Structure 1
Amino acid sequence: MLTFYLLFGILYWGMFSRLRKLWEGRKNLGRNFIQKENPQVSILVPFRNEAQNLPAIFNGIFSLQYRPLQVLFIDDHSEDEGRKYLTALIDKPGCEDIEIEILKSKGIGKKMAVRTGVERAFGDIILTTDADCFLPNDWVENKLKGFSDPMVMMVAGPVISQKSKGFFSVFQQIEWSSIILITKVGFELQAPLMCSAANMAYRKKAFEEVGGYNGNLDQLSGDDEFLLKKISKRFGVGSVRFVTDNLVMTMPHATWRSLFSQRIRWSSKWRSHLSLIHMAASILPVLIQLIFISSVCLLWKGHIGMILFLILWTTKILAERKVLGKVLETYGIKFSIWSYVLTGIVHPFYVLVSAIGGIFGNFEWKGRKSSNMA
């Protein structure tokens, strides 16, 4: 038993060292791309019960440097005053080179909302984001750099929660850094596993050629990952790209319950991918965290067991600080060692609860229950 945990600690350190090398590997492609003419761009913003967030995303879109733009807000059957507020914002004087419409989704769920937007979009390149996001001013230009190669059909980018007060905010940003890391590593290894629709772009013709979300419409989540897999399979892994320095920020969760609900929704997709690689990538993190939790048994193995327990958890925290800290520093975010200590202790239990929730697949999101989408 002692030998097992010792070897596991060594492997964990080695794994994170490898992840850091992959993070620091190939830089963004298309960085030196010079736009000869402005392609037509459509931005899709599906929303449901987002009245409090719509003014910020609306103003953020008007702050984008790229012109002209078509912006489509697609209402996924909201139950609040969001559509009313948005209509009032659109009626205000604005730029003539931004065409804004509010559409009613033709079906239930985010995928149907996006499909409604795609059908209306006139842009060759479609960008998607969420109503609770904050966009950099050069968001569109950086996305278009990824399409400098005509073979590229989709460009994904990083997302992270905004900073707020307290440990809960810190925990979310560190966890998001692990998501960003694994996302880029998947692309680097030419086996993309995930991406976020909050910061994503694709050619309209690619969406149409793969049939959009046909075959996945019964899933409440996964509008990003399912499309990524379809495009990658149809056009090859070289057709999808991850641009590291095009960061989109999202609102942090206000409560642990809300955070767990989202993560359970994400993890519930594991059955639907029908991919051994994706299944392994879903199961491995859970097994790793279970090993860390089970290491508590070392405390009953005398002084040697206690020392090994401390070494194992110290290795865990230092490895995570070294690598996840590097990811966060890319975006100008720094935390003390104690932030990584607390996150490193809480995270294994957080992953386990999310995984159990994902197995049973029962969750509620924006007033909808997963059982109602089956």
Structure 2
Amino acid sequence: MGFSLFACAVLLAYCVALWWLRKHWNAALHESTRILQMPAPSFFSENKPFISVIIAVRNEAANLPKLLQSLDSQMLKPSLFEVIFIDDDSDDHTASILQSHAARYALRYFLLEKTKDTAHKKRAVGTGISHARGQLIVCTDGDCHFGANWLAQYYTFQQQTQAVFVSAPVCLEATPPNLFTQMQVIEFASLIGTGGASLHAGAANMCNGANLAYLKSAYEQVGGFAGKTHLASGDDEFLMHKMAAAFPKKVIFLAHPDSVVNTATQPNWRSFVAQRKRWASKWSSYQDWKVTGLAIGTAAFHGLVIACWICVFISPKENFLLLISLIIKAITEYVLLKKICTDTRAHWSNAAFGALQILYSPYVVFFGLSAALLPKGYTWKSRQVQ
């Protein structure tokens, strides 16, 4: 009985936290829309910032045509931005595609030097920044695509807010469309929603390197990626934490639907596990105790959820209140996640949401334990990372 009451209290507190996230997600969406609709200030014509789009790529030949088409379609004047590709030792046709496109698009292309360093993406992005002419750095990935207003939104939003770091949503596309990929879409939306809502609330924890921007001067002031170059992942979140510490209230979430970047889901379980291992590899290196506490608390909470379902399955009558609490949890998650998917134009699947209610907690506990106990190596983009 004592466990049931404790678990019910935790589950209801979790539901309150989800409503808090929904409140801040809605506030970020309304505030972003309001800012983007504001009249252009006078300094627009006097001090127009120049944007450098930095894109680190490795073996993206299949994805580059869609990305390049997105760049070609941008509404922002070509005189206001440049595109820099850094090829991280691709062994497909990435280099030839970029070189042939450079002639008509005036993009710049650099080949990353080979080293034994495992922080490939950080080195690639850092190399791009060292060649950047722009004051505002905008980052995305080689397997992404986006709408015609993407850069214009960053341009306007940064000038209106004077932010030093801007994070924006990333939306997964179920490719191919099946239950496994649709589950990824919803699970990823939960991460984007949590990161965006928390950032709006002033508690920076998560962002995604496929869609963010920051001032080059701020990047240099905080020392760039220094201190985390031993990690293959984290070119996005570690930098955001540095920026949030150095520039309070200047790290902002851009929640407008036109700012969304789209990318494909992982096609199979093997690539999915490799991606999640890559993400989980950095959690123990966070210096902010709040972020580390959130990671540990999330794993502990989902361990509790598993215990709750076991209790309900064994003795449903004795754990009726626990069952009601679990149902309330599911309803609250449904309301929040469907809202996030709607706002980011992500595909919603009731079947995938139902499957996640059963599988998500074991999944979180499994990857949490894997990050802590199993060997750190994994394969990503045909490269072994230790």
User: In the alignment, which residue of structure 2 is the partner of 1:101?
Assistant: 108
User: In the alignment, which residue of structure 2 is the partner of 1:124?
Assistant: 135
Report the alpha carbon displacement of residue 282 of structure 1 after superposing the two structures with TM.
1.0
Unmatched 5+ residue regions in structure 2? none
User: In the alignment, which residue of structure 2 is the partner of 1:363?
Assistant: 378
* 1:178-216 deviation per Cα after TM superposition (whole angstroms, max 9, x unaligned): 112111222122121121111111111111222211111
Report the alpha carbon displacement of residue 358 of structure 1 after superposing the two structures with TM.
2.1
CA distance in 2, matches of 1:305, 1:132: 51
The aligned amino acid for 1:30 is I
User: In the alignment, which residue of structure 1 is the partner of 2:25?
Assistant: 23
CA 1:249/1:33 → structure 2, altered by over 3 Å: closer, same or farther? farther
Compare 318-327 and 36-45 and name the one that shifted more. 36-45
User: In the alignment, which residue of structure 2 is the partner of 1:4?
Assistant: 6
CA distance in 2, matches of 1:233, 1:42: 24
CA distance in 2, matches of 1:181, 1:159: 10
* 1:291-312 deviation per Cα after TM superposition (whole angstroms, max 9, x unaligned): 1111233146534246445424
Report the alpha carbon displacement of residue 47 of structure 1 after superposing the two structures with TM.
0.4
* 1:25-56 deviation per Cα after TM superposition (whole angstroms, max 9, x unaligned): 24226321526234211111100111111121
Report the alpha carbon displacement of residue 350 of structure 1 after superposing the two structures with TM.
1.7
CA 1:337/1:311 → structure 2, altered by over 3 Å: closer, same or farther? farther
- Helix, strand or coil for the counterpart of 1:70? strand
CA 1:112/1:300 → structure 2, altered by over 3 Å: closer, same or farther? closer
Report the alpha carbon displacement of residue 112 of structure 1 after superposing the two structures with TM.
0.5
2:68 is the alignment partner of 1:53? no
CA distance in 2, matches of 1:210, 1:2: 47
CA 1:33/1:128 → structure 2, altered by over 3 Å: closer, same or farther? farther
CA distance in 2, matches of 1:40, 1:303: 62
User: In the alignment, which residue of structure 2 is the partner of 1:354?
Assistant: 367
Compare 10-19 and 118-127 and name the one that shifted more. 10-19
CA distance in 2, matches of 1:3, 1:217: 45
User: In the alignment, which residue of structure 1 is the partner of 2:193?
Assistant: 181
Report the alpha carbon displacement of residue 285 of structure 1 after superposing the two structures with TM.
1.4
* 1:199-250 deviation per Cα after TM superposition (whole angstroms, max 9, x unaligned): 111111111222211111111000011111122222x221211100111111
* 1:73-105 deviation per Cα after TM superposition (whole angstroms, max 9, x unaligned): 1011112221122222334xx3xxx53111012
User: In the alignment, which residue of structure 2 is the partner of 1:293?
Assistant: 306
User: In the alignment, which residue of structure 1 is the partner of 2:209?
Assistant: 197
CA distance in 2, matches of 1:318, 1:7: 16
Matches within 5 A, 1:1-374: 1-26=3-28, 27-28=31-32, 30-31=35-36, 32=38, 34=40, 36-37=44-45, 38-66=48-76, 67-68=78-79, 69-91=81-103, 94=104, 99-106=106-113, 108=117, 109-149=120-160, 151-164=162-175, 165-234=177-246, 236-245=247-256, 246-299=259-312, 302-305=315-318, 307-308=320-321, 310-333=323-346, 335-359=348-372, 360=374, 361-371=376-386
The aligned amino acid for 1:40 is F
Taking only aligned residues, the RMSD between alpha carbons, in angstroms, comes to 2.0
Name segments (4+ residues, structure 1) moved above 4 Å.
none
Contact 1:266 1:358 in 2 (8 A): no
Aligned residues: percent identity? Answer: 27
Contact 2:168 2:253 in 1 (8 A): yes
Contact 1:232 1:239 in 2 (8 A): yes
CA 1:187/1:299 → structure 2, altered by over 3 Å: closer, same or farther? closer
Unmatched 5+ residue regions in structure 1? none
TM (norm. structure 1) is: 0.91
The aligned amino acid for 2:248 is V
CA 1:33/1:140 → structure 2, altered by over 3 Å: closer, same or farther? farther
Report the alpha carbon displacement of residue 151 of structure 1 after superposing the two structures with TM.
4.4
CA distance in 2, matches of 1:50, 1:350: 29
Report the alpha carbon displacement of residue 9 of structure 1 after superposing the two structures with TM.
2.9
The aligned amino acid for 1:145 is T
CA distance in 1, matches of 2:20, 2:304: 20
Contact 1:265 1:358 in 2 (8 A): no
CA distance in 1, matches of 2:346, 2:138: 26
CA distance in 2, matches of 1:304, 1:10: 20
Report the alpha carbon displacement of residue 357 of structure 1 after superposing the two structures with TM.
2.6
Contact 2:4 2:319 in 1 (8 A): no
CA distance in 1, matches of 2:132, 2:313: 63
CA distance in 1, matches of 2:17, 2:159: 33
- Helix, strand or coil for the counterpart of 1:320? helix
Report the alpha carbon displacement of residue 18 of structure 1 after superposing the two structures with TM.
1.9
Contact 2:243 2:251 in 1 (8 A): yes
CA distance in 2, matches of 1:320, 1:300: 21
CA distance in 2, matches of 1:259, 1:301: 33
Report the alpha carbon displacement of residue 370 of structure 1 after superposing the two structures with TM.
3.2
